[in-house]
A and B are shown apart, each in its own frame.
Chain A
Amino acid sequence: MGRLAAFAHRLGSPRWFFDITGPWLVVLSVIGIALVTVGSVWGLVFAPEDYQQGNSFRIIYVHVPTAHLAEALYLAMGAAGVVLLVWRMKLADMFIAVTAPVGMAITGVALLTGAIWGKPTWGAWWVWDARTTSVLVLFFLYVGLMALRQAIPAREQAGRAVAVLAVVGTVNVPIIKYSVDWWLTLHQPSSFSLTEPPTMPAQMWLPLLVNVVGFYCLVAAVVLAGLRNEILERESGTAWVRDWLARKLRGSVA
């Protein structure tokens, strides 16, 4: 068995995952808070204003990281959905359950910052173009995942139904990404791509890069913390959780 296969096999054990992720949580939180602090102060105070939009442009330092994460989280849930549907891995179900509300909140922030940016620059809070509408659909997909889980009492069936929706919904992500290229929209095209240099000088995109990485770390920490809680809750009857709790109460684990 290769190392990857061995890792995937171990992921089948929520207990193993719980044991190894304790330190990750601390590391991700510390890095995330540090990067977001540096990136935000840099972007909001020290980066130059835009020649055309002035200070309104600075909302990019929140809008782009959240919008990027909104799509990435959904793709991650879609991948977890495939894992659950094919391999029936419990951890994948827990991941979807924990990530849906986080993704909804992040998408909400992306929509809100987009509206706040739109008013002073476009002249409108909201426009029904392909980009904004497809992101709104993404928001409702997140809500739908949560509602669907609540609507089905049996946990296993609920998990599979939600996984199907998670997989089907990933079709929306490339639509969001390419909406600004495929159709005439008010939203501008992306400032970043893998093949072209950024469409702004380094003094503007460096703090943005710092914030994007920082937001990723912070959100990963939030999802991980939620996942660990979910594991404890779902495995609460087992010996290892009782053991862990006893040690926790004695203060011998973090």
Chain B
Amino acid sequence: MNTQRRNRLVATVFLLGGTAITAALVLTALEENVNLFYPPERVVNGDAPTGVTIRAGGMVVCGSVAHDASGLGVSFVLTDYQGSDFMVRHVGILPDLFREGQGILVTGQLDSGRVFRASEVLAKHDENYMPPEMAGIGIEAEACDPPDSTEPAFAS
């Protein structure tokens, strides 16, 4: 390789390397801010601010979903299965994928009692797909089986 080309190659490698380092530094500095939502642990330990609109997420605790006797009101508990859980209160339509044992994101505000007043509820599905006959008959029951020891989707 002649000198001119080698110099251009070195310059190009520096260009790419410099950009990569810059991007890495920026993203490291932004770290927490790039996360879309607060995991249960950070809601419980007080990292999540009260009184401002934020997003939080967790798995719906089995048996925690309580619909109001009338109207669209519902409350449920979100957890990371590692000891952190918080109560959510929502009035409105729930996504089709909402069910017990499902990963859920909520947008809204933490009130002074650290109950999450959600204005929007989104369902987070995982990367596993299977036909209904493989999932078995008791889908609800299956989703509520004890999960793997960790729940990486919601661990901070």
Q: How far is the CA of A127 from the CA of B39 in the complex (A)?
A: 17
B9, B105, B127, B154: the one within 8 Å of A188 (CB): B127
> Is there contact, CB below 8 Å, between B36 and A127?
yes
| Residues of chain A contacted by B95 (CB below 8 angstroms) | 121-123
9-residue interface stretch from A44-52, A222-230, A241-249:
A44-52
Residue of A nearest to B94 (CB): A123
Known: A86-B8, A171-B16. 19 other contacts (CB 8 A): A48-B131, A50-B129, A50-B131, A51-B130, A53-B125, A53-B129, A120-B96, A121-B96, A121-B123, A123-B123, A130-B34, A130-B36, A168-B15, A170-B16, A171-B23, A183-B36, A191-B128, A203-B131, A204-B131
> Is there contact, CB below 8 Å, between B105 and A167?
no
A side interface size, CB within 8 A: 42
Q: Is A124 an interface residue (CB 8 A)?
A: yes
Total CB contacts across the A-B interface at under 8 A: 121
**Residues of chain A whose beta carbon lies under 8 Å from any beta carbon of chain B:** 48-53, 57, 60, 82, 85-87, 120-124, 127-130, 164, 167-168, 170-172, 175, 182-186, 188-191, 199-201, 203-204
Q: How far is the CA of A86 from the CA of B23 in the complex (A)?
A: 23
CB distance from A64 to the nearest CB of B (A): 11
> Is there contact, CB below 8 Å, between B122 and A123?
yes
Q: Is B108 an interface residue (CB 8 A)?
A: no
Q: Is B124 an interface residue (CB 8 A)?
A: yes
